[in-house]
Amino acid sequence: MKLDEAFSPFPNLSTNRLRLRQIQPTDEEAFFAIKSDHEVTDAYGQEPHPSREETRVWIQRLQSSYDRRDAILWCIT
């Protein structure tokens, strides 16, 4: 598989119990709840997000990484 084939379109993966999909701006509220929680962020060695704006910027960075073909990061639902 060529690199562009892996990235275009965004690969959605599904089973009966879960779905892996692209992170969207509409996920901001849910991700802020996770990424602002000290207990969660301590578990993976990062500082919690102090504001929704930081979460919004984080989502934009993820999208930019995908657009540059640097990374594919999924949202698990």
pLDDT digits (tens, 9 = 90+) for 24-74: 999 999 999 999 999 999 998 999 999 999 999 999 999 999 999 998 899
Domain range for residue 17? 3-76
Judge whether residue 3 has pLDDT over 80.
no
Domain total of the chain:
1
Quick one: pLDDT at residue 19?
A: 97
pLDDT bucket at 76, cuts 50 / 70 / 90: very high
Model pTM score: 0.85
Buried b / exposed e along 41-73 (16+ C-beta atoms within 10 A)? eeeeeeeebeeeeebeebbeebeeebeeeeeee
